[in-house]
Structure 1
Amino acid sequence: MRVLLVEDDRALAQGIRVALRGEGYTLDWVADGAEAEHALQCERFDLVLLDLGLPRRDGLAVLRSMRSQAQGNVPVLILTARDAVADRVAGLDAGADDYLVKPVDLDELKARIRALLRRCQGRAQPRLEYAGVSLDPATQQVSYQGTPVTVTPMEYQLLHQLLARPGVVVTRERLSNALYGWQESGPGNTLEVLIHNLRKKLHSGLIRTVRGVGYLVEQQP
């Protein structure tokens, strides 16, 4: 899952980046509101972590602008030192899905992110299950027919992207962005190699290639 972190405190941003990358998220970081608006207009994200006291453009203004744009349904979790009830009300009324006051407990942050992603995908249960494959975002464990399967972090991210959208073709561009974000991408055949490995570790019919477009797991009847 690709996350945009909007935070002007470099030390805090670095701590969150390390924590979330360790959980298998691809995280892109900007340090002011104007950069955030530009990123949201040009890129696709699964979740936004948004500070309020930002240089150049306030976080609430970014949020209101975002809700009126193409990515208006992307979940937003506000991370801020503003702890007054009026500030929390203003943030939620502006369109935030959740509100967390700094200093941030990283375990709580991870749990809230998982809850928001479940909610936006229309799921109540944390575990993703499909055709005998089970993926647990809380532990990052994958199993097939009850047997644990060892996957690499990139294989896990790719499988998560596909299982979260059964029956929907996920484009190569979206998968690449989810794996790398603004980092330099890997070799041109990286997706094919990852898909091949997942088919081998799980089962060959799990992931279907839609030539020239991307990949999908078929929706079960």
Structure 2
Amino acid sequence: MKLLIVDDHGPLRGLLGEHMERCGFVVDQASTGRQALDALEMSRYDAMVLDMGLPDMDGIDVLSARNASRNGPVPCIVLTARDALESKIAGLNAGADDYVLKPVEVAELEARIRAVLRRSSHGFIALAQGNLSYEPESRHVTIAGKVLHLPRREAMMLEELLRSAPRLVIKDVLEERLYAHSEGVTLNAIEALVSRLRRKLESAGASVRIDTVRGLGYRLVAEASQHVQP
């Protein structure tokens, strides 16, 4: 799951980002409304945490603009001061899914993000292909009923492929979904990730495999299908 945190207070934004990364999210950060809108245009996020008091524009404007972004509306939790009743009401009326009061309790924020995700169209529904089953919330993977333990990034890769299967997932899209903008990504990072995941699926006896479409990307297909070798 990919998260955008928008807050002009650097230490708080960094604290929230570090916590959510430890919880398994890929996190991008923005300190202004303009940066947030640019990020929403460039990437698809599963949720956004939005401070209502930004230096260059009102949080309401960001909420309104997110609905018109090319990637579509993003579930949003607004951050607001305890005494800012009007701000809370305005945020909810503008389409926010929930709010958290400042000073922020990171555990509460995490719980509210997960609750919003469960209610959204990106909710935690088990994904399955062939004898492979994956539960996004827990990253629990089973093949023919046996658990397959995967590191975080490999599990995220599997989720992206499962959500699109059997359609092709463009390599650049995978890179965008699996890595934050601030992370340095080597040229062969995605290839290496696919290679490791492919070997593990094969060793575990999965009835699906990852096909490579040269120069474009990857797709998850049933073993009986015609395939392209990398």
TM-score by length of 2: 0.80
Cα distance in 2, alignment partners of residues 13 and 193 from structure 1: 31
Q: CA deviation digits over 1:154-182, x for unaligned, max 9?
A: 21221222223334432211110122221
1:146 correspondence with 2:145: yes
Deviates more, 1:109-118 or 1:57-66: 109-118
Cα distance in 1, alignment partners of residues 87 and 51 from structure 2: 12
Superposed displacement of residue 12, structure 1: 2.0
Superposed displacement of residue 88, structure 1: 2.9
Instruction: Find the counterpart in structure 2 of residue 165 from structure 1.
Output: 164
1:16 correspondence with 2:9: no
Count of matched residue pairs: 218
Is the 1:114–1:137 contact (alpha carbons within 8 Å) kept by the matching residues of 2? no
Instruction: Find the counterpart in structure 2 of residue 105 from structure 1.
Output: 105
Summarize the Cα distance change of 1:112–1:208 in structure 2 as closer, same or farther, 3 Å threshold. farther
Cα distance in 2, alignment partners of residues 95 and 67 from structure 1: 9
Q: CA deviation digits over 1:43-85, x for unaligned, max 9?
A: 3333221110111111111111222232332222222225655
Is the 1:33–1:62 contact (alpha carbons within 8 Å) kept by the matching residues of 2? yes
Secondary structure of the 2:142 match is strand
Is the 2:130–2:207 contact (alpha carbons within 8 Å) kept by the matching residues of 1? no
Gaps of 5+ in 1: none
Is the 1:176–1:185 contact (alpha carbons within 8 Å) kept by the matching residues of 2? no
Residue 157 of structure 2 aligns with an amino acid whose one-letter code is L
1:59-98 to 2 correspondences below 5 Å: 59-81=59-81, 85-98=85-98
Instruction: Find the counterpart in structure 1 of residue 179 from structure 2.
Output: 180
Summarize the Cα distance change of 1:98–1:209 in structure 2 as closer, same or farther, 3 Å threshold. farther
Is the 2:198–2:210 contact (alpha carbons within 8 Å) kept by the matching residues of 1? yes
Is the 2:88–2:99 contact (alpha carbons within 8 Å) kept by the matching residues of 1? yes
Instruction: Find the counterpart in structure 2 of residue 193 from structure 1.
Output: 192
Is the 2:212–2:218 contact (alpha carbons within 8 Å) kept by the matching residues of 1? yes
Gaps of 5+ in 2: 223-230
Instruction: Find the counterpart in structure 2 of residue 206 from structure 1.
Output: 209
Cα distance in 2, alignment partners of residues 44 and 127 from structure 1: 21
Is the 2:52–2:87 contact (alpha carbons within 8 Å) kept by the matching residues of 1? no
1:119-158 to 2 correspondences below 5 Å: 119-121=119-121, 123=123, 125-158=124-157
Decide which of 207, 215, 221 is 2:218's aligned counterpart: 215
Summarize the Cα distance change of 1:21–1:181 in structure 2 as closer, same or farther, 3 Å threshold. same
Query: Which structure would you say has the larger RCO, counting Cα contacts within 8 Å and 6 or more residues apart?
Result: 1
Superposed displacement of residue 126, structure 1: 4.5
Cα distance in 1, alignment partners of residues 96 and 72 from structure 2: 11
Identity of aligned residues (%): 38
Summarize the Cα distance change of 1:25–1:214 in structure 2 as closer, same or farther, 3 Å threshold. same
Cα distance in 1, alignment partners of residues 131 and 109 from structure 2: 30
Is the 2:7–2:32 contact (alpha carbons within 8 Å) kept by the matching residues of 1? yes
- Say what the alpha-carbon RMSD is for the aligned residues: 2.6
Instruction: Find the counterpart in structure 1 of residue 54 from structure 2.
Output: 54
Summarize the Cα distance change of 1:162–1:94 in structure 2 as closer, same or farther, 3 Å threshold. same
Secondary structure of the 1:41 match is helix
Is the 1:199–1:205 contact (alpha carbons within 8 Å) kept by the matching residues of 2? no
Residue 142 of structure 1 aligns with an amino acid whose one-letter code is V
